[in-house]
Amino acid sequence: MRSLHHFVCEPKDGRRYDNTKDLAGKQFVTSSTDEDHSVTNRIAIVKSTPIKYDGPIQSGDELIVHHNIFRIYHDMKGREKSSYAHLFGNTFLIDPFDIYAYKRSGDGFIALHPYIFIAPVDKVSKSIIEDSRTTEELTGVIVYSNNDHKDLKIGDLVKYKPHIEYEFNIDGKKLYRLNVNNICLVD
């Protein structure tokens, strides 16, 4: 089954939410509400590409997608609804604009133009009372770059504009998705 304009996908591991953590061999629920966008699954598996698509993404690839793709919400009357992308069962139609990166088995993610993914940089503060670890403001290291911006490489330190961080938890790491137009400095 193929769509004319959308990627036919399913959530990774068949789960719409990523709201459990394994601690000492036991599963603990970290969020019990469907409304919590921070724990929605953001990894999709491609079942088929659009008929008119000629880009790099193939069937079987993993995608980093928008946080509302697999989300469940409640309408004004309190009825449970699936997102706009839901087709049936565990099958979703994902618009190319809602895809930020892709990965083949064994490879790392490759961001799609105009995005990159960065990891925030830790800053260690030593005081008389205690050591504390915070995040260096507006600074990050590129973790996933895209093929369209050869001047931005994995490992580069970047400074970016304020209030544009879009947070993801990918493979247990906190990452921000940034539009390359919001990068101010590259070191």
91 pLDDT tier (thresholds 50, 70, 90): very high
Clarify whether residues 95 and 17 are in a common domain: yes
**Structural domain containing residue 31:** 7-108
Which tops the pLDDT comparison, 171 or 37?
Answer: 171
Q: Judging by DSSP bridges, how do beta strands 43-48 and 115-126 pair with one another?
A: unpaired
pLDDT at 77: 93
Share of the chain above pLDDT 70, in %: 83
Is 1 among the domain residues?
no
- Asked if residue 2 belongs to a domain, the reply is no
Q: To the nearest whole number, what is the mean pLDDT of the chain?
A: 85
Both 90 and 31 in one domain: the answer is yes
Separation of alpha carbons 122 and 118, rounded Å: 12
CB 172 within 8 A of CB 179: no
> What's the CATH number where 156 sits?
2.30.33
pLDDT digits (tens, 9 = 90+) for 95-122: 999 999 999 877 789 999 999 999 998 7
C-alpha distances (whole Å) from 79 to each of 11, 82, 92, 106, 121 are 22, 10, 20, 41, 42
All residues at 6 or more sequence positions from 84 whose CB lies less than 8 Å from its CB, including other chains: 68
Q: Is the same domain home to 104 and 119? A: no
- Strand 157-160 relative to strand 86-88: parallel, antiparallel, unpaired? unpaired
Q: 99 with 150, same domain?
A: no
